Chain A
């Protein structure tokens, strides 16, 4: 166990809807990264938050947005859901330190878009 928790574990939505996924960081970690893992693929970087600000973004459209709260927990919001958004969404927490950057992953939220 890494101490990173995510909710919910599973979610079913229909195309066009909006979804919010939540992540609680490991104690002492100030950075949260979100990844999308499609079936049969490796995780792909969506974005990262550090001290409540976005600190880097992958190749995802603006309908993917996020928040980080003062307690370092985080949300991933996806608007106008598309079928291709069906995937496992992973949250990873870390301490922002260039030399010791190791990300610890939560169990993920499985999103199915119908």
Chain B
């Protein structure tokens, strides 16, 4: 079955620390990849997405992600986190040949940034 794994369930960092959140998926075909963020009390917001082309994609608020096809991974990075980055982060995969546009989400990573 298709699945998405986010290995870090809870991450605590100090401000200015670097961030890397892991995301691995199990699907052998072509995929579209997404990272969404859910700030406390707010709805899911798109952080960045990958469809094709340059495997290093840049998103909003200084986030970037790298698609490594051979590792079935799409890790999220930020060189220097801020207190305002405290949120829950979800990786999502859309198998682009699935015939539907369903997204398969990981279980999320709760990030807490200490001021």
Chain A residues engaging chain B, CB cutoff 8 angstroms: 2, 31, 33, 35, 40-45, 48, 55-56, 58, 90, 92, 94, 96, 98-108
Contact = CB atoms under 8 A, between A and B. Distances in A.
Contact of A90 (B34, B44, B94, B108): B44
B106 A42 contact: yes
Given A42-B90, A42-B108, A43-B90, A103 B103 contact: yes
5 contacts: A33-B103, A41-B107, A100-B51, A101-B101, A108-B43
B99 interface: yes
A78 to B, nearest CB: 19
B27 to A, nearest CB: 14
Contacts of A92: 103
A101 B32 contact: yes
B43 A56 contact: no
Q: Across the A-B interface, give the 5 residue pairs with the lowest CB-CB distance, nearest first.
A: A56-B100, A42-B105, A105-B44, A45-B102, A107-B43
Contacts of A107: 42-43
Contact of A56 (B49, B102, B105): B102
Interface in B29-76: 32, 34, 36, 42-46, 49, 51-52
A82 to B, nearest CB: 22
